Chains A and B, each alone.
Chain A
Amino acid sequence: MTDFVEQCRGEWKRLGVPDPIAEEMAVDLAADLSDAEAEGVSAEEFLGSSAFDPASFAASWAAERGIIPAPTGRGNARKRPFVLVAFTALAAITVIVSALLLATGEPKLSLATSRTTAAGPSRSVVHSVSAAAPIEWILLLLAVVALGFAAWLWASSGRLRLPTAST
């Protein structure tokens, strides 16, 4: 439990919470955790899932008190477009390459004529000459689905950037 408080202290320091306020919160938290322990209440029961994430807990507490700005998810927002651009580009390239392979490759089925014996009748045999054809179709299908998913992510990303109501 002391370790949990120390990790909170570290997070508050990192976030620029003034020392006296951080100290006050740490003392209160330590005293409450000590009470809980004395009554046989685990940190998880007392803190919920926050017990496993001291950094988020500390940041959330400080933000709700108005000591630091509320997290806006800017870190994720900054990464999201780059990841999305890469994902969309990959999906688009895969669609184009698959389509080109399908359009310009060998005929997928060919009609070949062969004779079984010198005297026997000739017959038509269907040979598959492109074992890659199903893979190309699968790739194309997957890439189209991925492009659709990317479009949905872009739309969601746009909605997430809308101003949020304060709670």
Chain B
Amino acid sequence: MVRESRRSQLLRGVLDLCLLAVMDEGPAYGYEMTRRLRERGLAIVGEGSIYPLLGRLEREGLVETYRAASDGGPPRKYYRPSSSGQLALALGVSEWRAARDAVDAVLAPVKVEVVS
């Protein structure tokens, strides 16, 4: 329970980066992004959903959107990082890696862990 909650909290802090990263691979609509995340092991978005986050990224000008037909389905709203979004992604990845390395350095001596 505690581990799940921590995982959700950690993910919430970097979900915007994850969304920018998966749409940087190629424009994607909402569900397609969750599919790409799921393929990398982020099966559950956690407490909320990606829509409010996509809304915020759009409001902040970090993504560009356009409508296009999907495969056999209705026209979908596709998202891709704007130039500001790509910059935010680059900065965010640097911050994430620095934080991850620092936490790893602190946790490295810990010998016990629960394998899930």
Contact = CB atoms under 8 A, between A and B. Distances in A.
Interface of A: 24-25, 27-29, 31-32, 34-36, 39, 45-50, 57, 60-66, 167
Given A64-B56, A167-B56, A32 B44 contact: no
B63 to A, nearest CB: 11
Secondary structure type dominating chain B contacts: mixed
Contact of B52 (A32, A39, A46, A61): A61
A65 B51 CA distance: 9
A39 B45 CA distance: 17
A47 B46 CA distance: 8
Contacts of A35: 31, 73
Nearest to B30: A32
Contact of B76 (A25, A28, A45): A28
Interface string B68-106: 001001101100000000000000000000000000000
Given A57-B51, A61-B52, A48 B46 contact: yes
B18 to A, nearest CB: 15
> Which of the four size classes fits the interface of chain B?
20 to 34
Given A28-B77, A36-B31, A48 B43 contact: no
A49 B46 CA distance: 8
A57 B53 contact: no
Contact of B44 (A27, A36, A48): A48
B47 A61 contact: no
The 6 closest A-B pairs by CB, nearest first: A65-B55, A64-B55, A32-B31, A64-B52, A66-B59, A64-B56
A48 B50 CA distance: 9
B58 A65 contact: yes
Given A24-B77, A29-B51, A60-B48, A46 B59 contact: no
A49 B47 contact: yes
Contact of A32 (B29, B43, B47): B29
Contacts of A31: 29, 31, 70, 73-74, 76
Contact of B43 (A45, A47, A49): A45
B9 interface: no
A60 to B, nearest CB: 4
B34 to A, nearest CB: 6
A17 to B, nearest CB: 12
A31 B51 CA distance: 13
B5 interface: no
Contacts of B74: 27, 31
24 contacts: A24-B77, A25-B51, A28-B76, A31-B70, A32-B30, A35-B73, A45-B43, A46-B31, A47-B45, A48-B44, A48-B47, A48-B49, A49-B47, A50-B49, A57-B51, A57-B52, A60-B48, A60-B52, A61-B52, A61-B55, A62-B55, A63-B52, A63-B55, A167-B56
